[in-house]
Structure 1
């Protein structure tokens, strides 16, 4: 649905609507996609096709701006349709993938052959099919179309204004974000096989003795193409794509294995904290997976601490059931980033948790912010009344440490004592601790 303008530049034609062709042999997929595109007036469905030849007929007749191809069609029909279209009438194509290993391989193949983007069909179904996810999908469809315009046409100088209107700064920014997300997921799928992950550990320290009492394990990712990818970038992608289950299991096993190595080396027996993601926490098979890892590694459950975020406990009944299953294993549970969510202090007494971790946003500048000090003091008092331990996160200065001591906070974690470090550095610290030489941990 393109209209030729003066200067040889094409832009969106009638009513600025994008024509979309859906290629799938599944009625369910087509019925799932139709109402999604109907939510945005910029899109109009120009046709549907069940195989490549039918798709080519629709393309020649209707000239759609975007083609959606279902890769889950039988007998590799999705890939064959993709090849047919790209060989005869290149057009921006988004492939719908699945979380299966076969779906992953076909997605990688399609991306190498020139697909503009891909999207997991599971993300548009069930609980995932909410307003935010469908909006995200539609935005990526628009990005695929814009990307197609850039690739196919060379814009003359006289048409710069038209180009700038079509590719606004905000749209280009979103395109860059989506492209990075696509790159992250592509490489993330092989990160475990390629041994690209490693763990670092940050000590939890008793402020009265300056000795390490526990460790929090944190994942890091170094990729040959992307470099060092921060967790805040790749964890959301792992959550969305479903890869978080495999990655989370790797983290748990690696952390438990390392903890046992230290114990077997005669170092102090400390708790090992591991963060759980929302999808892991809601997975009915989580307890069984943790039990299996504990049995395989030989780590006693009391030395494993699982950290959940406050926002995970919004559904009180579901959270209580999940936590009860974890506590049956004998592991400890900590509520991380406490104070940043919306949980009610009243129902904390009903949750089988062992520890609250005060978010670092309340610790920064503690000495000079009376409100923060009042909040921290209140949380510590409340936790003591509920027989919960408290850890203050993000400690960086001597002044903050003194205020925390005055508030009665015994356990802290932060750069003041140590940044997250590799296992070898932790061994040096623990050996120094056992010799009781330093009064303070120094990296």
Structure 2
């Protein structure tokens, strides 16, 4: 660690505005100290050699590829952790991939630090990323510099090639994710929520799927975290909301039973001050009545109880229902019930699996259902896959379930067929 028990940081940029925006960010933390600034790679090398430098932050938006040149110089002469900052897309993404291939440790989007709606949360996140870059950077720098053809067997045995492949995969996902909406590569599938008393569908949860023209099928567990980090989740989330409402309205206009469609909202979406106006606009645009839209939040909404409660209260005023997803997986579940205007609890599937043979799980599920009943909350059990699990849930008094026992997530046309069959049964 550098002077005053802090990591020494050098910032490389030719922009006064960039320096003025980034330098104060490091002053807000206790782990870093900006010890110098440079206009290009050679000047950065001089600073590194004369000062105790732990991290170099490089402005990737400098003209004439000066940022990439700086990375190359540092990696060639004195490899240390490098954090890239960029505000250009998609061009910036291309340069970022090139910088990572050269050996940059991590990157971050400059605009995320500048947006007031992210306030101190994004600053803290950025500083944490910088700290991780320092902690892991030296190892990654030398891993990326390993000549594969020379020590290939040793590299494979130590897992170094695998790490590089994963890192490249992450960069490829982000680059192609930026084009996915315009190229209409996303689609929604819907999983029914079933009333086990009437055996009828009462609602649907919409889930996003992505088939990239370049990467093929990409799992949500892979691309959603990257969308969160890059800020693309706002654009993707808006598309999901609009498409879910549009499809629900189309079903209603076709004479199918009116029911809610649930949409998952991410932590980042809640940080967007325009969320309320955006959802209201989508409801007006699609013509969907607000009682047929349900928003699902999770316990990761811990950036501030007041912020979440205020946002949810605004949305509730529109007539939208709110469900807490994955209930029971976080330590603050119970406190959220008193702070947030919740209509429904969704019991996480980890408590449902093996319900017949796991007495602890059954006790927890029974407690949640009893508590919810006393609080006038609805309960949905997620991940129901077997007759045994369904039987235990019935014995506990759970009325609504969701899972592969009834149906996996399916496309809109299949939902239409299922609902038409229900109408025929009536």
Short-chain TM bin: 0.7 to 0.9
Structure 1 match to 2:228: 239
Structure 2: which 5+ residue stretches go unaligned?
1-7, 115-119
Aligned length: 404
Alignment of 1:92-111 (within 5 A): 96-98=84-86, 100=87, 102-109=88-95, 111=97
Q: Deviations over 1:328-362 (max 9, x none)?
A: 11111001111111225365245211111111111
- Residue 373 of structure 1 is matched in structure 2 by 362
Match of 1:403 in 2: 392
| TM-score normalized by the length of structure 2 | 0.81
2:322, 2:343 within 8 Å by CA — same for their partners in 1? yes
How far apart in 1 are the matches of 2:151 and 2:191? 55
Q: Work out the CA distance in 2 between the residues paired with 1:61 and 1:207.
A: 71
Alignment of 1:145 with 2:134, yes or no, is no
Q: Tell me: CA distance 1:296–1:370, structure 2 relative to 1, closer, same or farther (3 Å).
A: same
- Correspondence 1:199 to 2:199: no
CA deviation after TM superposition for structure 1 residue 411, in Å = 0.7
Superposition CA RMSD, Å: 3.8
Give TM-score, length-normalised by structure 1. Answer: 0.79
Using a 3 Å threshold, how does the CA distance of structure 1 residues 177 and 252 change in structure 2: closer, same or farther?
same
Residue 358 of structure 1, aligned match among 347, 359, 367: 347
Structure 1 residue 267, shift from structure 2 partner? 0.7
Distance 1:314 1:397, change over 3 A: farther
Written as runs of structure 1 = structure 2, the 5 A alignment for 1:75-224 is: 76=63, 79-82=65-68, 96-98=84-86, 100=87, 102-109=88-95, 111-112=97-98, 115-117=102-104, 119-122=107-110, 126-128=120-122, 129-130=124-125, 132-138=128-134, 141-142=137-138, 145-151=141-147, 155=150, 169=158, 174-224=163-213
Deviation at 1:156, TM superposition (A): 6.9
- Note the C-alpha offset of 1:214: 0.3
For the Cα contact (< 8 Å) 2:55–2:83, is it kept in 1? Answer: no
Inter-CA distance 396–257: structure 2 relative to 1 (3 Å threshold): same
Question: Does the aligned pair in 2 maintain the 1:72–1:103 contact within 8 Å?
Answer: no
Secondary structure in structure 1 of the residue aligned to 2:315: helix
**Cα 1:89/1:61, change in 2 over 3 Å:** farther
Match of 1:415 among 380, 398, 404: 404
**Counterpart for residue 254 of structure 2:** 265
CA distance in 1 between counterparts of 2:302 and 2:10 reads 42
Say if 2:305 and 2:339, in contact at 8 Å, map to a contact too: no
Whole-angstrom distance in 2 between the partners of 1:409 and 1:148: 53
